[in-house]
Amino acid sequence: MSYLELSNVKKSFGTTIAVDDFNLSIAQGEFVSFLGPSGCGKTTTLRMVAGFELPTSGQISLQDKNLTYLPPNKRNVGMVFQSYALFPNMTVADNIGYGLKVTGKPKKETNARIKEMLGLIHMEEQHNKFPSQLSGGQQQRVALARALAIRPQVLLLDEPLSALDAKIRLELRLEIRRIQQQLGITTIYVTHDQEEALSLSDRIVVMSKGKMEQVGTPAQIYTSPETEFVANFVGQINLLPVKVVSPTQGKVKVGEQILQAGKFGHLNGNPIRLAVRPEELNHGFIEGANNLSGKVEAISYLGSIVRIRLDVEGNPISMDVFNERKLTIPSVGDDYQVTFPVEACWII
């Protein structure tokens, strides 16, 4: 069931193509993230949904109503900006009530809605304050309430957390998810932070250079990236250059060490690489799994995780292990055996 539909959307600024061939249908109540590096077209796409940019071609429809060329103030989609964009001359309550006031809603309804929204973001006490008196996190909560106050059909969030401190960011992330689920509102969330996208979304659209790279659930995106870009952009990954040994069986080799790919297409093109996430690697040797031996090159503590970098036949490979008490950490220069399951690796 498609609620919000973007079909063949294209946007170019002069000769630069910002977004191309964008097709996506979003179900009601779904939380979709657009994930990608800056300049990948994710914000432009969002702004086309909001109406701040007009697509060069293609169509955007909401509940089968064509939105494509509707002015932004007739769309009823709520937007939250990276820079909060609260009106500095209005109190928190006035900011939240703005959308209702300008569309001529009765005062009683407006006030009730303001109260409801203040409750939703737990800021009843601050209703009379001006934005300049609030912290960044509070300001962004108000901005969220302001966008939600008009009961939008879609909520758009444009990197809402990137201007905030790490700790507040985490806190507000949870709050956004809570509010989204509480209201069941269809949401598009633009971010360059994979952790945000993975933790919040029902589905993620990974974008690069104006194109959709992959659409899928967080698990799909993480465990089976379809392109090298996605594999690299989301999470850490080892990409091991390999030579094909048996195209039909998916057997490859690095140096003289034979490996079995879990997933492989037609193995004719060279060069090909075997992808495996660092956390899939373990110390040891398991019969029937993939095994590699190499030399320890570097060890870095990342708090809960220790990352061991190995040199395997001249290629760097990282392995992440939990920093448990029982962990024995090798020394640099040691010979080291690692193993990983066949299902955990694939050919890119």
Partner 1 sequence: MKTKRINFWAFFWVVLAFLYFFLPMYGTLDFSLRMKKGVLSLLAYQKVLADPQFLASFRYSAIMGVITVIFSILLFVPTVYWIHLKMRQLRPLVEIITILPFIIPVIVYVFGLIRTFSGPPFQLTLTPFKTDILMVAGYIVLAMPYMFRAIDVGMQTIDVRTLTEAAQSLGANWAQILFNVIFPNLRTAILSGALISFALVIGELILGDFLARPALGPYMVEVGRDMAYQPAALAIMSYALTWICLGLITLFSRSNNNQRQILGR
Partner 2 sequence: MPSNNSQPIPVKQFQPKSQFTNWIGILPFFVFIFVFLIFPSLNLFSGAFKDQQGNFTLANMKFLSNPYVLKSYATSLQVSIITSLVGGIFGFFVAYAIVMGNTPRWMRSILTTFSGLAANFGGVPLAFAFIATLGRTGFITAILKNICYANAAGVQVCPFNPYDNGFNLYSLTGLVLTYIYFQFPLMILTITPALEGLKKEWREASENLGASSFQYWTRVALPILLPSILGSTMLLFGSAFGAFATAQALTGGSIDLVTILIGQQIRGDVLNNPNEGYALALGMVVVMAFMIVGYTILQKRTTRWLKL
Residue 51 touches partner 2, criterion: CB under 8 A:
yes
Q: Which partner in partner 2, partner 1, none is near 13 (CB below 5 to 8 A by kind)?
A: partner 1
Residue 14 touches partner 1, criterion: CB under 8 A:
yes
CB of residue 261 to partner 1, shortest distance in Å: 44
Residue 218 touches partner 2, criterion: CB under 8 A:
no
Question: CA nearest 340: which of 296, 281, 294?
Answer: 281
Residue 14 touches partner 2, criterion: CB under 8 A:
no
Going by the DSSP 8-state scheme, the letter that residue 28 receives in this structure is T
Residue 71 touches partner 1, criterion: CB under 8 A:
no
Binding partner 2 by CB under 8 A: which of 27, 54, 102, 305? 102
C-alpha 311/C-alpha 299 separation (Å) is 12
Residues of span 95-124 touching partner 1 by CB under 8 A: none
Residue 52 touches partner 1, criterion: CB under 8 A:
no
Q: How far is CA 328 from CA 283, 324, 325, 331, in A?
A: 10, 9, 8, 10
Query: Measured at the alpha carbon of residue 126, what is the angle toward residues 123 and 127, in degrees to the nearest 5?
Result: 95
Q: Which partner in partner 2, partner 1, none is near 150 (CB below 5 to 8 A by kind)?
A: partner 2
Residue 285 touches partner 1, criterion: CB under 8 A:
no
Binding partner 1 by CB under 8 A: which of 13, 87, 285, 301? 13
**Cα 292 from chain centre:** 32
Q: Which residue, 14 or 104, is less far from partner 1 as judged by CB?
A: 14
Binding partner 2 by CB under 8 A: which of 58, 99, 250, 262? 99
C-alpha 328/C-alpha 114 separation (Å) is 57
C-alpha 221/C-alpha 223 separation (Å) is 6
C-alpha 293/C-alpha 307 separation (Å) is 16
Beta carbons of 197 and 204 less than 8 angstroms apart: yes
Q: Which two tokens stand for residue 225?
A: 């990236």
Residue 83 touches partner 2, criterion: CB under 8 A:
yes
Size of the site for partner 1 (CB under 8 A): 3
CB of residue 53 to partner 1, shortest distance in Å: 9
Taking each helix axis as running N to C, give the angle between helix 92-102 and helix 107-120, from 0 to 180 degrees, rounded to the nearest 10. Answer: 140
Q: Which partner in partner 1, partner 2, none is near 14 (CB below 5 to 8 A by kind)?
A: partner 1
Q: φ, ψ for residue 110 (rounded to 5)? A: -60, -50
CB of residue 55 to partner 1, shortest distance in Å: 14
Beta carbons of 63 and 152 less than 8 angstroms apart: no
Residue 72 touches partner 2, criterion: CB under 8 A:
yes
Question: CA nearest 146: which of 75, 108, 63, 90?
Answer: 90
Residue 79 touches partner 2, criterion: CB under 8 A:
yes
Binding segment (CB under 8 A) for partner 2, from list 16-24, 50-58, 114-122, 277-285:
50-58
C-alpha 254/C-alpha 173 separation (Å) is 42
Note the residues at the interface with partner 2 (CB under 8 A).
50-52, 71-79, 81, 83, 85-90, 98-99, 101-103, 129-133, 143, 146-147, 150
